[in-house]
A and B are shown apart, each in its own frame.
Chain A
Amino acid sequence: MSEFYIISDYCSIRDHEVVLHGKSVYNHADSGLQDFLTGIYQYFAVSYPKFYKMDKLSKLGFLTAELLLRNKNIHQQYAGNEVGIFLMNASSSLDTDRNHQHSILDRNNYFPSPAVFVYTLPNIVIGEISIRHKFTGEGTFFIQEKFNPPFLVHYIKELLAQGVIQCCIAGWVETDGQNYESVLYLIEKTDRPNAGIANFEPTSIQRIFDNEK
Chain B
Amino acid sequence: MLGDKTGIQLAEDQRIAPEPFYASLVEPSLLQQKFKAIGDPGLYTRFEQMAICSVREALSNVAFNPEDPGTLFILSTTKGNIDLLEKENEQKLGKERLYLWDTARLIQRFFNFRNEPVVISNACISGVQAVITGVRLIRAGLYENVIINGTDIISEFVFSGFNSFKSLSTGPCRPFDRTRDGLSIGEGSGTLVLSKTRPQADASKLIVALDGISSNDANHISGPSRTGEGLFIAIDHLLKRNPLALDYISAHGTATPYNDEMESIAITRAGLQSVPVNSFKGYWGHTLGAAGIIETIMCVSSIRNNVLYNTMGFHETGVSNPLNIIDRVINREINSCLKIASGFGGCNAALLLCKK
Contacts and interface: CB of A to CB of B under 8 A. Distances in A.
Contacts of B86: 101, 105
Nearest to B167: A114
Interface residues of B, number: 56
Contact of A104 (B139, B142, B157, B233): B157
A151 B117 CA distance: 11
Contact of B222 (A118, A122, A142): A118
Nearest to A151: B118
Interface in B112-158: 116, 118-123, 129, 133, 136-137, 139-140, 142, 156-157
Interface stretch (B96-104, B174-182, B304-312): B96-104
Contacts of A85: 216
Contacts of A141: 120-122
Interface stretch (A8-16, A90-98, A199-207): A90-98
Nearest to B75: A143
> Main SS of the interface on chain A?
mixed
Interface in A111-161: 112-114, 117-118, 120-124, 126-128, 130-131, 133-145, 148, 151, 154-155, 157-159, 161
Contact of B347 (A97, A100, A127, A144): A127
A112 B161 contact: yes
Given A91-B99, A123-B345, A127-B346, A114 B213 contact: no
B216 A143 contact: no
A39 interface: no
A136 B137 CA distance: 22
Interface of B: 18, 78-80, 82, 85-86, 88, 98-102, 104-105, 116, 118-123, 129, 133, 136-137, 139-140, 142, 156-157, 160-165, 213-222, 229-230, 233, 237, 343-347
17 contacts: A80-B218, A81-B233, A85-B216, A94-B98, A98-B85, A101-B157, A117-B160, A117-B165, A131-B220, A136-B217, A138-B215, A139-B214, A139-B216, A142-B121, A143-B121, A148-B116, A154-B142
A107 interface: yes
Interface in A44-62: none
Contacts of B18: 107
B2 to A, nearest CB: 35
Interface residues of A, number: 54
Given A90-B101, A127-B216, A127-B347, A142 B119 contact: yes
A101 B164 contact: no
Which are the 4 A-B pairs with shortest beta-carbon distances?
A: A127-B345, A117-B161, A143-B119, A158-B140
Interface in A144-182: 144-145, 148, 151, 154-155, 157-159, 161-162, 164
A146 to B, nearest CB: 9
A154 B105 CA distance: 21
A162 to B, nearest CB: 8
Contact of A134 (B104, B129, B218, B221): B218
Given A117-B160, A130-B216, 12 more contacts: A92-B80, A98-B85, A98-B88, A104-B160, A112-B161, A121-B344, A127-B347, A144-B116, A145-B105, A155-B137, A159-B136, A161-B140
Given A113-B164, A143-B100, A154-B140, A136 B215 contact: yes
B218 A135 contact: yes
A127 B163 CA distance: 22
Given A127-B221, A130-B346, A139-B214, A155 B133 contact: yes
Contacts of A140: 120, 122, 129, 133, 214
Contact of A101 (B85, B118, B218): B85
A139 B122 contact: yes
A113 B85 CA distance: 17
A120 B50 CA distance: 22
Contact of B139 (A121, A137, A158): A158
Contacts of B82: 97
Contact of B344 (A112, A127, A144, A161): A127
B222 A158 contact: no
A112 B346 contact: no
Contacts of A162: 136, 139
A155 B213 contact: no
Contacts of A90: 99, 101
A110 to B, nearest CB: 8
Nearest to A50: B221
B218 A130 contact: yes
B246 to A, nearest CB: 20
Nearest to B119: A143
Given A121-B78, A121-B123, A148-B116, A97 B140 contact: no
B161 A120 contact: yes
B319 to A, nearest CB: 23
Contacts of B119: 142-144
Interface string A180-205: 00000000000000000000000000
Contacts of A120: 79, 157, 161
